[in-house]
A = this chain, B = another copy of it.
Amino acid sequence: MISIGELAKRAQCTVPTIRYYESVGLLPQPQRREGGHRAYNRKDLARLILIRRCRDIDMPLDKIKELLTLEANGKPCQETVDFFSVQRNAIKARIQALQELDFTLSLYVENCQSGCMQNKAPCHIYDEIAQ
């Protein structure tokens, strides 16, 4: 049994976020201690970590709910595997976009370092962004 603060630390999120997830039905109502404090178990942590992982790739809460329902209904693995495969594709696309962006930014930096910063000429970096 772990406290909400401990759960937050382990799942890398904030305490209010956990209460928020509970309020929208993403996390079940947890057990309570005598004084009313929430008490979580290993399963709650697993669920929250999965939620956060999905959020890391910007999956909307609605979709995450779907996934969790799928799990709760004990659907065959194929669906889960398909689901994760789709997510992996999304991740790969995102990585590629970021790499391209990084390359573009490296060109900007180089442009300034070897050009206008050397000869003290005015910088045209922002104009070049539009091609």
Name A's B-contacting residues (CB within 8 A).
Answer: 42-43, 45-47, 49-50, 53, 56-57, 71, 74, 76-78, 80-81, 84-85, 87-88, 91-92, 94-95, 97-99, 101-102, 104-106, 108-109, 112-113, 116-117, 122-123, 125-130
Contact = CB atoms under 8 A, between A and B. Distances in A.
Given A88-B109, A98-B98, 8 more contacts: A45-B130, A46-B128, A47-B126, A50-B129, A56-B101, A80-B112, A87-B105, A95-B99
Nearest to A130: B46
Interface of A is mostly: helix
Q: How many copies does the complex hold?
A: 2
A130 B49 CA distance: 7
A81 B129 contact: no
A25 B87 CA distance: 36
Given A109-B81, A125-B80, A130-B46, A95 B92 contact: no
A95 B105 CA distance: 15
B105 A88 contact: yes
Contacts of A122: 74
